[in-house]
Amino acid sequence: MKATAIANANIALIKYWGKRDADLMLPNNGSLSMTVDGLHTKTTVEFGDFEADTLTMNGESVEGKELDQVIKHLDLVRGMANINKKAKVASENSFPTAAGLASSASGFAALSVAAAKAAGLDLDEKQLSILSRRGSGSASRSVGAGFIEWLKGEQADGDDSYGKQVATPDHWPAFRMIVAITATGEKKIKSRAGMSQTIKTSPMYQGWLDTVPADLDVVRQGIRDKDFTKVGETAERNGLKMHATMITTIPTILYWNPTTIAIMHAIQDWRDEGLESYFTMDAGPQVKVFCLEKDVPELQKRLQEIPGVRETIIGKPGQAARLVEEHLF
């Protein structure tokens, strides 16, 4: 009753911001992301005769809210498998946790795949995506490979709201994301609390929702056609629209720092010179820069020269979440 899984993070080209059902984690809008090779979480789950559920992250014991969320997720799996054994869970991230790098996505995808297997369940990719979604909405997009659309769904039970592949990693192997780390440390406002406050208070929120379906159509088709300009322009604008709803939330949610803004200006200037890339930010100050493989060396060099950029990480279209043999304990 022990299994280990690896799941990659994902970075959204069309963002998810807001839930219509906070218990089932059903979104107000569809979203679309790239699964990012190299930014991953590895998780081992063992069900056994333990006294309590325990969790370690990067070797440190975790308690409180984070442990509670993991226990809640284990309870879902125990319910599905009809078992009541406690679990030992160990997890490791290959990147800074909770700095707006979507560790909850890779985290809950890896936990779902490992826990389902350890509990003896045999779930397909859609079922694993639905299970992952219950832990963190964006985790529904970290189960599959390449480019994934999280379908908004219409059903009350959420069975039609899961991550569906738009294109495999091999379809567009030249697509790259450069993650520019502009700050380390925990983010100030977690996505979950932030999005619920946005729905309650931002006058921009409805406008955001109204424009997402058209953005999704453009980016989905742009990926199929490998039309980099179309995908980049629409994704950049979509991310900015999400941030407009954040900034206009009461109290305001401003995730950017001065380096975030310096990078946005630089990318626009470089684009005017003919060096094409686009930016997007999530619930944190890091900037994710989309580009094509041929431009990575020049962009990476220039990004690293911007004061405040601490590190850059290159990601390409990644593999699906998978079971591995080497356990963490």
- In the complex, the residues that contact ligand DP6 under the rule CB under 6 A are 12, 15-17, 25, 31, 102, 104, 136-138, 191-192, 282-283
Sign of the torsion formed by the C-alpha atoms of 188, 190, 196 and 202: positive
d(CA 148, CA 119): 27
Distance of closest approach, residue 135 Cβ to ligand DP6, in angstroms: 7
* Structure tokens, 119: 């509990």
Q: Give 41 or 138: the residue with its C-beta nearer to ligand DP6.
A: 138
Q: Which value, to the nearest 10 degrees, does the dihedral of the CA atoms of residues 221, 36, 190, 258 take?
A: -90
Q: Give 136 or 259: the residue with its C-beta nearer to ligand DP6.
A: 136
Distance of closest approach, residue 264 Cβ to ligand DP6, in angstroms: 16
Distance of closest approach, residue 100 Cβ to ligand DP6, in angstroms: 7
Q: Give 208 or 270: the residue with its C-beta nearer to ligand DP6.
A: 208
C-alpha angle 270/265/273, rounded to 5°?
A: 15
Q: Give 261 or 275: the residue with its C-beta nearer to ligand DP6.
A: 261
Q: Give 96 or 270: the residue with its C-beta nearer to ligand DP6.
A: 96
Contacts with 206 (C-beta within 8 Å, 6 or more apart), sequence order = none
Chain residue at closest Cβ approach to ligand DP6: 137
Q: Which value, to the nearest 10 degrees, does the dihedral of the CA atoms of residues 197, 199, 200, 206 take?
A: 150
Distance of closest approach, residue 225 Cβ to ligand DP6, in angstroms: 23
C-alpha angle 21/27/29, rounded to 5°?
A: 140
Distance of closest approach, residue 195 Cβ to ligand DP6, in angstroms: 7
